Amino acid sequence: MAERERVIEVRDLKTAFGKTVIHEDLDLDVYRGEILGIVGASGGGKSVLLNTMLGLQRPVSGSVIVDGQDIFNSPDRQWLASNMGVMFQNGALFSSLTLQENVEAPFLEHTEIRGKFLSRLAQMKISLVGLANDAAYKRSAELSGGMRKRAGVARALALDPKLLFLDEPTAGLDPLAAAEFDDLIVSLRDALELTVVMVTHDLDSLFQISDRVAVLADKRIVASDAVEKLRDSEDEWTRSYFQSRRARRFNSGGD
């Protein structure tokens, strides 16, 4: 069997805020084409890890290699912007702009595309995430929670990145909307050949769409495997998390 291609390699990562160490000796691989879930205790540094992988948080030491490039020593910031898209919690839309203007923003910042072609590209991205045409002219406050999440994905995919990062993508959604959002992510991954990294507490998402889950505890990745295998992990925190009462219904195949 051919070895899987690593698209992200995090090695010996240490991050800190002042004297408070968030991560230490952290290693993580992300393989091309997978949906990787990242879980851990609240306040354990999941979002900091996401921001570091995006190049937004510089580590104290260690490296983050994306497609062979050390992102903290690469002079090509444009490459990073066009190859990594991110949907932050609640979509993080610009409240003063319409949805279409939000999706146009990455083009305006990173390309020379303007005019009617820009509008058509933005509308195509909005349609890609399953939003109706009239949603394009609404501002963030006029969108439902599920629509804001989809809008955030549309903006994240504006420049056709091959890496999509999601921070708590289904938080605040009702079960039906969350399931529909999960289905959207899988369909986009398959259609666009994306690699997806998502930080989530949503067990439904972890069990339904993740190919693998990385567990962040004690400042490092303590386990990384297919979700159904983590209930028997040698790590105590991981075993407890995936053997919890809420997780048992997935482990047993129940509804």
Question: What 3 state SS string does the chain have?
Answer: CCCCCEEEEEEEEEEEECCEEEEEEEEEEEECCCEEEEEECCCCCHHHHHHHHCCCCCCCEEEEEECCEECCCCCCHHHHHHHEEEECHHHCCCCCCEHHHHHHHHHHHHCCCCHHHHHHHHHHHHHHCCCCHHHHHCEHHHCCHHHHHHHHHHHHCCCCCCEEEEECCCCCCCHHHHHHHHHHHHHHHHHHCCEEEEECCCHHHHHHHCCEEEEEECCEEEEEECHHHHHHCCCHHHHHHHCCHHHHHHHCCCC
Provide the mean pLDDT of the chain.
91
pLDDT for position 126: 96
Task: State yes or no: pLDDT of 81 exceeds 80.
Answer: no
pLDDT above 50 for 113: yes
Task: Give the residue-averaged pLDDT of 133-143.
Answer: 92
Pairing of the two strands 195-199 and 163-167:
parallel
Predicted pLDDT of residue 255: 45
**First vs last Cα of the chain: how many Å apart?**
35
Q: What is the CATH number of domain 6-248?
A: 3.40.50.300
CB 215 within 8 A of CB 181: no
* Single pTM value for the model: 0.92
Mean pLDDT of 92-103: 92
More confident residue, 35 or 232: 35
- Per domain, the residue ranges of the chain are 6-248
Per-residue pLDDT of 182-210, as tens digits, reads 999 999 999 999 999 999 989 999 999 99
Beta-bridge partner residues of 36: 197, 212
Would the pLDDT of 252 be above 60?
Answer: no
Look at residue 45 and tell me whether its pLDDT is greater than 90: yes
> Residue 3 — pLDDT band, cuts 50, 70, 90?
confident
163 touches 7 (CB < 8 A): yes
pLDDT at 240 > cutoff 90 = no
